[in-house]
Structure 1
Amino acid sequence: MTKPVMPADFKRVFEEMPGGAAVLNELTRRFGRAVYVTGGNEGDRETCYRAGQRSVLDFILREINLADGVDDDLDDETPPHDD
């Protein structure tokens, strides 16, 4: 049985290990570009392709943020409630 990967693992790999920050910078450079592409069906396909690539980068960054105590997940549709 393998240990579940936790946000702290992402922080350790990408921020604390030698070369981790450089790898994260390269991933950001390659896959952090604008997602939307104009151009009909071909533009739609490229937009979907880029969105898929971007989602991986967004996941990594979200995990690092969680390890740092930052929870800025805008996908969470559960509204805050008053007790």
Structure 2
Amino acid sequence: MTSSHKPSAPRPQGLVDPRIYRRIFEQDQDGAAILDELWRVFAKGAVCEGGIDAVLKTYRNDGARMVLEHIVRRINQANGVTDHDDGNADDRD
């Protein structure tokens, strides 16, 4: 299946306006349901048993969680909430 979506004009630093994240994932009922499902499916914790396989699963889980945290961080920015640096913040925004 091919997508007919064409990228819009470039934005500063390539970032989408945080208000769009808020509108889609917080204000729109369907978007909020999708975000809830993404958390249920992809927000997994560390795997503590299984040697190197556990480490690899933990890294994979962390990568999925980082995407979700990015979405929430952008919603928070639109709502005027600022990140507090706890040493784990992803400053790529």
Settle same-fold status: TM greater than 0.5.
yes
Task: Provide the C-alpha distance between the structure 1 equivalents of 2:25 and 2:37, rounded to a whole number of angstroms.
Answer: 11
Q: What does residue range 3-82 of structure 1 map to in structure 2 within 5 Å?
A: 4=11, 5-34=16-45, 36-38=46-48, 39-74=50-85, 75=89
Q: Hey, which bits of structure 1, 4+ residues long, moved more than 6 A?
A: none
- CA-atom RMSD in angstroms: 2.0
Task: Give the length in aligned residue pairs.
Answer: 76
TM-score of the pair, normalised by structure 1: 0.79
Specify every segment of 5 or more residues in structure 1 that has no aligned partner in the other structure, as ranges: 78-83
Q: Percent identity?
A: 39
TM-score of the pair, normalised by structure 2: 0.71
Q: In the superposition, relative to structure 1, how do residues 2 and 63 fare at CA in structure 2: closer, same or farther (>3 Å)?
A: same
Match in the other structure for 1:2: 9
Specify every segment of 5 or more residues in structure 2 that has no aligned partner in the other structure, as ranges: 1-7
